[in-house]
Structure 1
Amino acid sequence: MDFTILAVLAVLVLVAITVLAPRVGVAAPLLLVAAGVLISLVPGVPTAEVDPEIVLAGVLPPLLYASAVNMPALDFRRDLRTISGLSVVVVVVSAVSIGGLVSWLVSGLGFAEGTALGAILSPTDAVATSIVRRTGVAPRLITLLEGEALLNDATALVLLRSAVAAVAGSVSLLDVGIDFVQAVVVAVVIGVVVGGLSLGVRALVADATLASAISFVVPFIAYVPSERLGGSGLVAVVVAGLITGYRGVVELRAQDRLAEQVNWSTIAFLLESAVFLLMGLQVGPLVDDFRAENGSVGRLALLVVIGLASLMLVRAAYAGAVLLSQRRMLRSIPALRPRIDRFREYLSSPDAQRLSERRRTRAHASLVRHESDLRFYAEQPLGRRDGTVLVWAGMRGAVTLAAAQTLPSDTAQRPLLVLSAFAVAVLSLLVQGGSLAWLVRRLGVEADRSRTVSEQVDALTAAMTDLADQRCDDVARDGLDGVPVDDAAVRRARQESRLDRSTSWAGPEGPEQEDRIAAYARVRRAVLSDQRSTLVEIRASGRYDSEALTELLTRLDRAELALSTVE
């Protein structure tokens, strides 16, 4: 069939299933996987063969970049220790555990082959975690799951590379450690450089369409050199995305940010949906390969059970450790209060005045940030029910699909290993993903933070209004950049700066009206600049939730974009 027709049909199928999903009460990714499985088992359907490198190097970079750009850097920082443990400790322990059990229980497979399978199965998937967002769990849980999925690929792929090398010869634990450190360090450096440079280049491009076009290649600019230099291309992509998301609020124009949101949401939808459908379509050909090798269904079932059980038990053990550590930390907060108060008093003392203004400012910002973090941990703690969801929500997806197919063709019992990996991934999606919403309702962990976020949005809106009034008073009294401004322009800028109303000019058109509009636009931009700078400072302090700050920053972007209609 012509490729164009196939592409059109594929997009229509993706859209149709996504529209149908809410009506049948099933998450769209699950329907896509199920549809793919059914299609692949129909006799005569063409085999869906996709080079795994296309998934690893062509599909995952833009998907991870889109997720990283939208990841709140504040929330990511607060739970970085837990995310790092999920991304490294859980992956390593899961892979080694599966390797040991496979070598013990499955004849013909050694520890290296078992560890390779464990490395393939251990990473959760950023695409699969999109299912979690639909269940209404706490934003903190979503941050943990998405942060884990963004970073655990590096650990898994390094382990897989080492396990494959061990099958062919020997590899030392030191070599594995050096390989991992190199992969992370190289990736972080390249990600930071690419993220910063891409923002600088896009800021120089006046056209929002061209700036968006540049953003499309940023993931690949980060991925390719990192892989060539021995780093993790996927981690480099994530770092570049985090840098872009955090600094883009300041360095990019409003039209660039809004255009990027629309364009990348479309790309993410198409790629995510295609990955789920592809997972299902791959099942039929894998079953055929397994049968051609006269594979044992019993051995397949044993590997699947070993994989699922090991992944769940290791994850549960780590979740328990996280909850225990958090409980101890929360108990220590009262003891920290006196130390915080003493430090605050010191900053106001004559001794602190001997420090430079810059050091005092940084120390005060650090104090505010630390207090905000403690308040966050106290107000949004993780309980046993959250831990249960954290364990059950660890689903596998595209990374497992691609990594399994990178196993060398001469690997012992390769069809068995590949099919078992796919079976674990598909079952985790269908069983865990299909029951996740029910589990969340059953445990009662739906996070109704709408009131809290609404209150914070109202507080931030009031603060922005006060700031706008102050700036407009200054402009009315002193002018803007030394130039007097028409009172009507200042009044309109004051009204528009409330962020919750819009007005229109009244009166006849003419040169005088045009001058007023131009003056209004200049005042309005000055106010918006002050408001954005203040929100960025508030974001750095951590005093408000990311959701509330995102809402206000989006309002500012829309207001700035609206200015183009009057200029």
Structure 2
Amino acid sequence: MTLFETVLLLSAAAVILLQFARHLGAPYPTLLALAGTLVAMLPGAPGVEIEPGLALALFIAPALMDAAYDLPPRELRRNWLPVFSLAALAVIFTTAAVAALAVGLTGMPLYAGIALGAIVAPPDAAAATAVLSRFALPRQTLSVLKGESLLNDAVALIIFGAALQFHSGRSDLAVILPDLGLAIPLGLLIGCAFARLYLAFAPRVAGTLGATLFEIVTTFGAWVMAERLHASAVLSMVAFAMIVARQAPDRQAPRDRVHSHAVWGAIVFMLNVFAFLLVGLQARTVLRQFEGDQIGSALLFAAAVVLVVVGVRLLWVLGYNRAIGRLKRRCAPARAPTLAQGLVVSWSGMRGLVTLAAALALPTSFPARDLILLSAFAVVLGTLVIQGLTLGPLIRRLQIGPDGSYDEEMRLARSQLIEAAEIHLQCSGGGAAARLRAELDELRVAAEARSHGKGGGGDALRLECVARQRAVLSAMRMAGEIGDDVFQVLQQELDWTQLAHSRHERLEEG
């Protein structure tokens, strides 16, 4: 079967699985990984192999771009302590605990145990987001998890790189540490340079399809350049995305912004779908490395690694919450997290493609490589299944109250925007200004109604009118009264009207 046919078949299977995930209320990464594993076990199943470096660039770079674009720097500054605790300290302690387990139970070299720990330490943001997006969690909790996902991969991959250097014979810390220290600022510098490049040349391609293509080229270019120069590709992508997110939107035309968001949303989602299918399809590759008498002990060790990974995160997060509570906000920029928030954060540690890609990147001569591969696969699949399927019920059981700050900020922003328009119209006369002022009054009433949970009756009526207009427009097209070009323009105008008077909600996966 050709690669194209394989991808097409997997895409069709993913569409079906996504519908099951949506109706069952299960996170789609879990279902896709399980399905990929089952497919991999079938005779004649398609084999999909991908080079690890390509997997990181293809799947991780867009996900980081999407996450960093939506997380302003002020959120990182506001939550720097919990983010640092999860993205750096939790990764380091998880690495140490897994390394100790590996050395103690299997006798593998210390640097090999550290490599295993770094591989399984960083959680995957996409898996947790697939569950958390369905619930009205406190915004601080979501900000902390997003901030962790931006930085934990960089910390883990730096430790992993150090372990690989030990394997290659460079065991002198005086040589390794400066290299690792240089990777961080160099990665940030590359990301800033590509962001400036994008901001300088984007206006020249504005209003064209080439604008979105230029975004894709610069995004992957920042990652590839960092990899070529042995810098931190993760931090390069974070710096690039945050600079672009802060400065580019004000320079873009509305149509360019909408088109860019639509394209990137589709790209990130499709790559996530293929990534988690790929995780499952690697099952055969991982298991075929073991003989029949070795698989039992290897599986027991892999199960122990899963327990350590889950347990360390749980203990670390709950311990952090307790310590912050005792300090009574003296060291924390925000209020201490509750026990319920801590349980949600600690249970949102599903692993994903970074873990699998890093494991596959190990040299064939690396000590205990097969056992490390099996352990990494067990951690990915185990956390996706155990935590992925139970995180939703846990959130419902904890009955975490909704965060009203989003609605309050939305109400305030709507009021300020309406007031700005009214001030501008005060000096204008005529029928057009009067009609605009009346429309602004309607918008103010609708905004106040939404802020008090009453719903927008005017919005509902407007949407009903849009639905009727769509029916008439379609009938005119079918009857040949208007051409397709006129139909498409009017259809787009109705789309904008519907978007303007609908609740802002994310599309469901699937």
Closer, same or farther: CA 200–329 of 1 in aligned 2, 3 Å: farther
Residue 124 of structure 1 aligns with which residue? 123
Q: State the 1:425 CA deviation.
A: 1.0
How far 1:419 moved relative to its partner? 1.2
Give 3-state SS (helix, strand or coil) of 1:289's partner. Answer: coil
Matches within 5 A, 1:368-407: 377-378=334-335, 381-407=336-362
Report the number of matched residues: 450
Q: Which residue of 1 aligns with 2:209?
A: 209
SS of 1:127's equivalent in the other structure is: helix
Sequence identity (%): 29
Please show how residues 167-182 of structure 1 align to structure 2 within 5 Å: 167-182=167-182
What do the CA deviations read for 1:397-425 (whole angstroms, capped 9, x no partner)?
00011000111101122112111111111
- Superposed, 1:337-356 pairs within 5 Å as none
Q: 1:457 aligns with which of 397, 410, 426?
A: 410
Match of 2:317 among 313, 316, 319: 319
Aligned to 2:399: 444
Q: Which runs of 5+ in 1 are unaligned?
A: 334-372, 477-485, 504-553, 559-567
Q: Residues 53 and 22 from structure 1, CA distance in 2 versus in 1: closer, same or farther, beyond 3 angstroms?
A: same
With over 3 angstroms needed to count, the CA separation of the structure-2 counterparts of 1:320 and 1:27, relative to structure 1, is closer
**Secondary structure at the counterpart of residue 195 of structure 2:** helix
Which amino acid is 2:139 matched to? P
Distance 1:2 1:302, change over 3 A: closer
Equivalent residues of 2:122, 2:355 under 8 A apart: yes
What's 2:372 paired with?
Answer: 417
- Aligned pair in 2 of structure 1 residues 202, 494: CA closer, same or farther (>3 Å)? farther
Match of 2:308 in 1: 310
Q: TM-score, normalised by structure 2?
A: 0.81
What's the offset of the Cα at 1:316?
Answer: 3.1
Alpha-carbon separation, structure 1, partners of 2:205 and 2:80: 34
Deviates more, 1:320-329 or 1:118-127: 320-329
C-alpha contact (below 8 Å) 2:301/2:375 kept by paired residues = no
* Structure 1 stretch displaced more, 62-71 or 275-284: 62-71
CA distance in 2, matches of 1:282, 1:303: 16
Sort the Cα spacing of 1:327 and 1:442 in 2 relative to 1 into closer, same or farther, 3 A.
same
1:225-271 CA distance string (max 9 Å, x none) = 22222211122112211222222332222222211111111111110
Opposite residue 88 of structure 2, the aligned amino acid is V
* RMSD of aligned residue pairs (Cα, Å): 2.8
What are the within-5 Å matches in structure 2 for residues 439-518 of structure 1? 439-445=394-400, 447-449=401-403, 451-474=404-427, 476=428, 487-495=430-438
Helix, strand or coil at the partner of 1:217: helix
* 1:385 CA drift (Å): 1.6
- Which piece of structure 1 moves more, 394-403 or 411-420? 411-420
Q: Who is 1:105 aligned against?
A: 105
CA distance 1:52–1:176, change in 2 (3 Å): same
Does 2:283 match 1:283? Answer: yes
Verify the 8 A CA contact 1:208 1:259 in the aligned structure 2.
no
Q: 2:472 — aligned with what?
A: none
> 1:158-198 CA deviation, whole Å, 9 max, x = no partner?
21121122234352445454333322211112212222331
In the alignment, the residues of structure 2 paired with residue 272 and residue 411 of structure 1 have an alpha-carbon distance, to the nearest angstrom, of 29
Q: How does 1:6-405 map to 2 (within 5 A)?
A: 6-107=6-107, 109-136=108-135, 137-291=137-291, 295-305=294-304, 307-328=305-326, 330-332=328-330, 377-378=334-335, 381-405=336-360
3-state DSSP class of the match of 2:291? helix
The answer for unaligned runs of 5 or more in structure 2 is 447-457, 463-498, 504-510
CA distance in 2, matches of 1:390, 1:17: 27
Distance 1:110 1:119 in 2: 14
Alpha-carbon distance, 1:332 to partner:
4.6
Q: CA deviation at 1:274?
A: 0.5
Deviation string 1:382-402 (CA, Å, 9 cap, x unpaired) is: 111211121111111000110
Partner of 1:562: none
Residues 287 and 143 (structure 1), Cα distance of their counterparts in 2 relative to 1, 3 Å cut: same
Deviation at 1:117, TM superposition (A): 0.6
How far is the alpha carbon of 1:77 from its aligned partner?
2.7
Matching of residue 430 in structure 1 with residue 385 in structure 2: yes
Q: Who is 1:526 aligned against?
A: none
Residue identity opposite 1:232 in structure 2: S
Structure 1 pair 40–105 and aligned structure 2 pair: CA distance change class (3 A): same
